[in-house]
Structure 1
C-alpha cells in the first residue's frame, strides 16, 4: 500500500508532538508530512503538498470551530479528516460529520483509540482505492456494522470473527503466506484455515499463487 501522508493541525505544540509520535509508532503506511498551528498555515500546506489525511483540532487560533473543514470541502481538496477535539456537544459532532469527518477523537484519548482510528481508515482506503466494485462484506468488516454473531450472510461453517481474524492478518503481511504459515501464526487448525482462505479467494478478496519447490507446489495467499 502507498504511503498515507498525514498533516497534523493542532494549536498546542505538546499535543501536536504527542500525535506525531503516535503516528510514528503506528508506522507504515502513515508518514507525517508536517504540523501547523493556524488555519492559514494549514491551507497553505494543503495547497502545496496535499495530504491524504488531516488530524484536525477544530479549535484553532484565528479560526472559528470547523471553518477549516468547511473550506477544505468548499475547494474540493481530495483528502480525509479525523477530528481531534475537547468539544463534546452533539451539535459540534453532527456538524463535523456532516462535512465529511471520517472519525471523531475526543480529548483525552489513549494510543489504542488513536491507532484504531488510523488503522480503520487505512484499511477502508485500501479497499476503496484498489477496488472498482466494493463488496458489502468489505465495508461491514471495516465499519464493524454487523454484530459478531450475525453470520446470516455467510455460508454454513464460516463465521465472521474467524473470517476477520484471517483477513486482518493477511492485511498486515507484505508477502504471500502459505496455509501452514497462517494456521501456525493464528493457532488454528490447518483445515479450518484452508477453508476460510478458499472462501476469501472465492469472494475475490484474496489472490492465490503457486510456489514451486521440492514435492507438490504450495499455495500462497495474499490479500488483494
Structure 2
C-alpha cells in the first residue's frame, strides 16, 4: 500500500483530493496537512511514501517544503498539485526532484493517471538488480505525460504488483490457476498478467510434465542479483 500525505491550505480541497486518492486501488491517505510546518512534521514522524503538495501555503511555499525535505535527508516522493502555473515554479519543482506537476483545477482522471503512473514506476523499481537500457528508459519515462506507458493499456499497476508479491511469496513455480487462487483474480486475468510479465523478462516460464497430456505451464518471479 502506498501511503500518501495530502497537503493543501484549503481544508475542502484537501478533503476532495484525499477522497480521490482513496478511490485508487493501492493508495491510502496517511494524513492531511494544511501548512508547511504540518507537512514537514508528518513526514518526520509518520510513514509517507508520496506527498501531494500544494505550492501556495500560508507559512512557506511548497517548493520550500521540498527543499527542506531534501536538506533533512528525506527522499519522500513529491507530486506538486497546485494552481501555480508559471514556468519558473514548474522548473524549480523539477530541479528539486518533484516527480510530476498537476495544475489545478483538474478532474479525478487527471490525478488517477498520475498516481497509476507512479505505482507503475514503483513496480519497476522494486524489481531491483541491474537495468538494461530498455528498463532504464521505462523508469525515466514512467511518469511522462506522453510516450509509452510502463504497462500496456488495460493493465493495472496494482494488479501487476499483486501478481509479483504472490509469486515472490510462493515456495516455487506456480500455475496460472494456483496464482488465481492466491490472488483471488480470475484465471484468465492471472494468465494475462503472467504472459505480460514473462515477455518483460520479470517472470520465468517452466514446463511440468505429467504422465499423460500436455505439460503444465508454471511461473516464477525472476530475482535479479
TM-score (norm 2): 0.72
1:76 is matched with which residue? 73
2:160 is matched with which residue? 171
1:20 is matched with which residue? 18
Quick one: structure 1 residues 97 and 198, their matched pair in 2 at CA, closer, same or farther if it must change by over 3 Å? closer
Residues 58-103 of structure 1 deviation map (CA, whole Å, 9 limit, x = unaligned): 1101113511111011111021000011011100000000000000
Quick one: structure 1 residues 218 and 165, their matched pair in 2 at CA, closer, same or farther if it must change by over 3 Å? farther
1:154 is matched with which residue? none
1:99 matched to 2:92? The reply is no
RMSD: 3.6
Q: Say whether the 8 Å CA contact 1:128–1:134 is kept in structure 2.
A: no
CA distance in 2, matches of 1:97, 1:79: 15
CA distance in 1, matches of 2:152, 2:53: 30
Quick one: structure 1 residues 19 and 178, their matched pair in 2 at CA, closer, same or farther if it must change by over 3 Å? same
Q: Deviation of residue 22 (structure 1)?
A: 1.1
Equivalenced residues, count: 199
Residues 40-59 of structure 1 deviation map (CA, whole Å, 9 limit, x = unaligned): 11111111114111000011
1:152 is matched with which residue? none
Unaligned runs of 5+ in 2: 168-174, 178-186
Unaligned runs of 5+ in 1: 149-159, 187-192
TM-score (norm 1): 0.73
2:180 is matched with which residue? none
1:219 is matched with which residue? 217
Q: Deviation of residue 167 (structure 1)?
A: 7.0
